[in-house]
Chains A and B, each alone.
Chain A
Amino acid sequence: MGEILVLVDHADGAVRKPALELLTLARRIGEPSAVVLGAGSAAAEIAAKAGEYGAAKVYVADGAEFADLLVVPKVDALTQIAKAADAAAVLVTSSGEGKEIAARVALRLGSGIITDAVDLEAGDGGPVATQSVFAASFQVKSKVTKGAPVITVKPNSTSPEAAPAAGAVENVTVEFTGKAAKVTSRTPRVSSGRPELTEAAIVVSGGRGVGAKEGFGVVEELADALGAAVGASRAAVDAGWYPHTNQVGQTGKQVSPQLYVAAGISGAIQHRAGMQTSKTIVAINKDPEAPIFELVDYGVVGDLFTVLPQLTGEVKARKG
């Protein structure tokens, strides 16, 4: 089994949880090596963390290009490292950018690409990826038939498990090529202090039924009592009640938490596409005919403005 390259997603000098999930999955199909790009002085700490989760080697490359130019420098670096290491597979987190990087790397390597895997296992002819398609109404198992497989994996596809390995750092000098768009300014997202939507074990989402920006108060209070992330339907986002970064669904984030709570959300197919793989689903909706009730493990037909505060009170009381 050869080296499995894992592109390590990081922000604010810290490894993001999906990278640890990738390292965990990579161990099923070979020996993981981590690739850390543009992390500046945080690289050493990130490399150490990657080592804890099974990376025997950690390739580190730095340079202003990673921040100043869109996508291409990371493609240059990852392709160069994959070729030099004769990588057996390349794993990248499924985010908008992650998928773009992976696709271009695949083309340069002459490899097939699979995006949005939710599971990965070793197979006879290379790794077999599970995808959930058509708004999660089908499960597809597929594999790459040409070149070293390039696969993007959705966050929360597995739980990270530590497995200490050498984590030997190898510094790489990248030859930058290709035409790239310039990044002329960058405004980091301000953290809400709540868990990341795609990484959270529990997500509480509000929809049009929340009625107004202020209505999200009851959603946030429940989320905080449960230690959950807050999500929103597109209707709530389009109305300007909650930021687009919190949108759950086809054109927002795809989440797969242990528990998904939908309040005042009807359950349109495009919303389902982002939450249908959640382990447990509960909904509060005043319309007993709302399609969301077809998905739920537990549903309450009622007004979210009475049900949520009562639930929040109970949660606080039970947690003491």
Chain B
Amino acid sequence: MSLRIVVCVKYVPDATGDRRFADDTTTDREGVDGLLSELDEYGVEQALRIAEASGDAEVTVLTVGPDDAKDALRKALSMGADKAVHVNDDDIHGTDVIGTSAIIAKALDKVGYDLVVCGMASTDGTMGVLPALLAERLGLPQVTLLSEVSVEGGVVKGRRDGDAATEQVEAELPAVVSVTDQSGEARYPSFKGIMAAKKKPVQSLDLDDLDIEADEVGLAGSWTAVEAVAARPARTAGTIVKDEGEGGKQLATYLAEQKFI
């Protein structure tokens, strides 16, 4: 029986572009350029490597997001994933991470999986909690924040670099994994991959398909509320000096004035 791997990927505003909030204080995903979260490319990469090593695996990429999120799925398909699932519904707009985890958990159950792979965090929300929430909802072990990962004989193993220690961790499948950007460079889609991706199936699901009521998600169903959003005041222009032999001393004088020395 082939190993069913599902990679959760997010479509995010380009970090090098102008990210902002829409009037309803949600992340503006429409007026800005978006892309497959770079941190989720690592998830796709590890899923593909695990599939290659297994020889008999199928990689599905799954996203919850607006119409444009298709771009993220296409990118993942062009890297080599086999098929895609797009959960898209106007009522999802503004859903918080708790709600998103509910949607993804239901979608995973519908699609079927042995291994769920996530990125370490989305590059817009940067919460890094969705994989843990999925594990909680699905009743699966979480094997998260891995810098190395492998699957053998129905067991997923990996290295987790924590603050205080490096741990070797393992769990039996099914399991939820997340991988860090230390796990290995993601491949670039080849021309052949890009062409092939155009013919790969993308299944669309809406809330009805997942038996989720509109009021369980969206801004109204959120368990948190944003009260205020403000652009951080621009830092006041600093002093810039050119080193002409005294740069280190000038810097020392500045640091002494600021009482750092």
Contacts and interface: CB of A to CB of B under 8 A. Distances in A.
A284 B166 contact: no
Interface in A4-54: 11-12
B2 interface: no
A179 B127 CA distance: 23
B19 A107 contact: no
Interface string B240-258: 1111001111111011101
B191 interface: no
Contacts of A72: 141-142
Interface stretch (B76-84, B109-117, B129-137): B129-137
B232 A139 contact: yes
B238 A298 contact: yes
Interface in B16-70: 16, 19-21, 25, 39
Interface stretch (A159-167, A209-217, A305-313): A305-313
A318 B252 CA distance: 9
Contact of A250 (B123, B225, B231, B239): B123
Given A113-B223, A280-B258, A251 B120 contact: yes
A226 B228 contact: no
B145 A96 contact: yes
Contacts of B98: 106-107, 112-113
A295 B237 CA distance: 8
Of A145, A178, A302, chain B has the most CB atoms within 10 Å of the CB of A302
B88 interface: no
A96 B168 contact: no
Contact of B225 (A143, A184, A245, A276): A143
Of B145, B163, B180, B226, chain A has the most CB atoms within 10 Å of the CB of B163
B242 A112 contact: no
B224 A143 contact: yes
Contacts of A303: 243
Nearest to B102: A107
B102 to A, nearest CB: 9
B226 A140 contact: yes
B227 interface: yes
Contacts of A296: 235, 238, 240
Given A96-B163, A137-B19, A301-B243, A309 B133 contact: no
B229 interface: yes
Nearest to A311: B248
A178 B139 contact: yes
Interface stretch (A55-63, A82-90, A128-136): A128-136
A147 B142 contact: no
A202 B238 CA distance: 19
B231 A137 contact: yes
A177 to B, nearest CB: 10
Interface in B166-225: 166-171, 175, 180-182, 222-225
Contacts of A319: 261
A153 interface: no
A238 B256 CA distance: 34
B251 A282 contact: yes
Given A116-B126, A143-B225, A183-B168, A307 B251 contact: yes
A269 interface: yes
Contacts of A187: 165-167
Contact of A70 (B143, B250, B260): B143
Nearest to B101: A107
B108 to A, nearest CB: 16
Contact of A188 (B144, B164, B249): B164
Interface string A274-287: 00100011101000
B170 A184 contact: yes
A133 B228 CA distance: 12
Contacts of B246: 310
A235 B94 CA distance: 35
A244 B161 contact: yes
B180 A251 contact: yes
A174 interface: no
A311 B251 contact: yes
B240 A104 contact: no
Contacts of A100: 128-129, 131-132, 142, 144-145
A168 interface: no
Given A270-B15, A284-B251, A307-B243, 4 more contacts: A179-B139, A269-B15, A299-B239, A300-B248
Interface of A: 11-12, 70-72, 75, 95-97, 99-104, 106-108, 111-116, 128, 132-147, 178-189, 202, 226, 244-245, 250-251, 258-259, 269-270, 273, 276, 280-282, 284, 288, 293-303, 306-315, 318-319
What 10 pairs across the A-B complex have the smallest Cβ distances? Answer: A310-B248, A302-B243, A112-B223, A314-B252, A103-B129, A311-B248, A100-B132, A181-B171, A146-B223, A112-B224
28 contacts: A70-B160, A70-B169, A71-B144, A72-B142, A96-B128, A103-B127, A107-B101, A112-B224, A115-B128, A138-B229, A138-B232, A141-B226, A179-B139, A180-B142, A188-B165, A189-B166, A245-B163, A258-B260, A259-B255, A259-B258, A298-B241, A300-B241, A306-B247, A306-B248, A307-B247, A311-B248, A313-B248, A314-B248
